[in-house]
Homo-oligomer: A and B are copies of this chain.
Amino acid sequence: MKPYAEMTKEELESELNELKESYKKYLGMDLSLDMSRGKPCREQLDLSMGMMDALNSTVDLSCEDGTDCRNYGLLTGIPEAKVLIGDMMENHPDNIIIYGNSSLNVMYDTVARAMTHGIMGHTPWCKLDEVKFLCPVPGYDRHFAITEYFGIKMIPVATDENGPDMDKVEELVSSDESIKGIWCVPKYANPTGVSYSDETVSRMARLKPAAADFRIFWDNAYGVHHLYDDKQDYIVEILAECKKAGNPDLVYKFASTSKITFPGSGIAAIATSLNNLEDITAQLKNQTIGHDKVNQLRHVRFFGDIHGMVEHMRKHADIIRPKFEAVEEIFEKNLTGYGIGEWTKPNGGYFISFDSLEGCAKEIVRLAKKAGVTMTGAGATWPYGKDPKDSNIRVAPTYPPIEDLKLAAELFCLCVKIASVKKLLENK
């Protein structure tokens, strides 16, 4: 085949006619497929049904320290959950608070607390004229939604295969006191699947922020979410690295079991320095008497320990790996050589990131939607939903059954082609 960019106007028009014929067939199929969100599929959820038997009316619901998990108490979590989640997050149990079911909620609370009360004695952000966050792009729309909701100005920072552009991050963070945070998904990132290089993590830990209350919001959502046994990404543990760098309080690290057991019925956690924990606990004790300890116990009894969780994640991988591979194969078969798009091939996480020709992403998503396939909205991976190049699309392959997924991926490629040809024709 010939790259579209090298085609004449006539060749493109002829190609477009053929593509439109193929597209019509999809229109007639009455599809209704959802590739928009990083949702586990039914088979993945079934993996955790055993957790529903981990507790029953005959078992003792006391945790290791003797606390009756059914009653009030243990604001920061039960000891054995701190061990399990600590092992998962690669942090000491003492550095951990176990929360409720949503790490997003923990991140929201962390920003909200900084807004109203400031961080470790510093001015509450709501009293400042301007607060800014760095947002590596493409990134996670729900992160951006939190900062947008609080009126925090978001500054996009480019990313590559090593993570965010650290020259830019260092320059901005060290020169602008109104920059208070950076959103990071350091491993199998949403949506690129990229894991930060050792150098990136090292430079993150060694930032010299102009703002004493600058924090890295380190959302390690996919820490144990490998797709392969033999191709796994490793990232340097950020708390230890920050400590080593003399910046022990620089980072808030977040994680949850939402994509390990059940989204919405998992347990979430923060890992951070003892200073930060003290600051957080001063709020937490006013906010709640405690989180759901029975669910913490349920998780611990189900997994036993981190080894049980690792085994469990292998089963997840076995279910979703073929889906990632199917999409990648279809992209390769349909799009290679046309010069109209690039995509990532992650070793883990929940997404493939697709970059189209400039100015095509919205049209691709529109065409797919019209034919019954819902993608994440174009632009969603950028702050304020505004992708300046209109080129990035997040592809979420986990939820649909594989046959549906293949159909959706084929259709997607067709939409990429149609949108690309139309875009190229504009300049002929």
Interface residues of A (CB under 8 A from B): 37, 39-40, 42, 45, 48-50, 52-53, 55-57, 59, 61, 68-73, 100-102, 104-105, 108, 112, 115-117, 124, 126-127, 142, 145-146, 149-150, 262-265, 283, 285-295
Contact = CB atoms under 8 A, between A and B. Distances in A.
Given A45-B70, A286-B108, A264 B52 contact: no
A265 B293 contact: yes
B68 A288 contact: no
Contacts of A117: 149
Contacts of A292: 100-101, 264-265, 292, 295
A404 to B, nearest CB: 16
A68 B49 CA distance: 13
A108 B113 CA distance: 11
Given A37-B72, A72-B264, A100-B101, 5 more contacts: A42-B68, A52-B57, A115-B126, A124-B126, A265-B293
Nearest to A146: B286
In the complex, the 3 A-B pairs of residues with the closest C-beta atoms, listed nearest first: A265-B294, A49-B57, A70-B262
A283 B39 contact: no
A107 to B, nearest CB: 9
A283 B149 contact: yes
B57 A263 contact: no
A317 B289 CA distance: 24
Given A56-B53, A263-B70, A101 B291 contact: yes
19 contacts: A37-B72, A42-B68, A49-B57, A52-B55, A52-B56, A52-B59, A56-B56, A70-B262, A70-B264, A100-B100, A100-B101, A102-B288, A112-B116, A115-B116, A116-B150, A142-B289, A264-B290, A265-B295, A292-B295
Contacts of A108: 286-288
A71 B40 CA distance: 7
Given A57-B52, A100-B100, A39 B71 contact: yes
Nearest to A147: B286
Given A53-B57, A68-B45, A286-B146, A262 B112 contact: no
Contact of A72 (B39, B112, B150): B39
Copies of this protein in the assembly total 2
Contacts of A40: 71
A55 B53 CA distance: 8
A115 B142 CA distance: 22
B294 A264 contact: yes
Contacts of A101: 100, 291-292
B70 A265 contact: yes
A144 to B, nearest CB: 10
A286 B105 CA distance: 8
Nearest to A293: B264
A128 to B, nearest CB: 11
A217 to B, nearest CB: 15
A289 B100 contact: no
Given A50-B57, A52-B55, A104 B288 contact: yes
Nearest to A283: B149
Contacts of A265: 69-70, 292-295
A124 B71 CA distance: 36
A428 B59 CA distance: 61
Contacts of A100: 100-101, 291-292
A37 B287 CA distance: 17
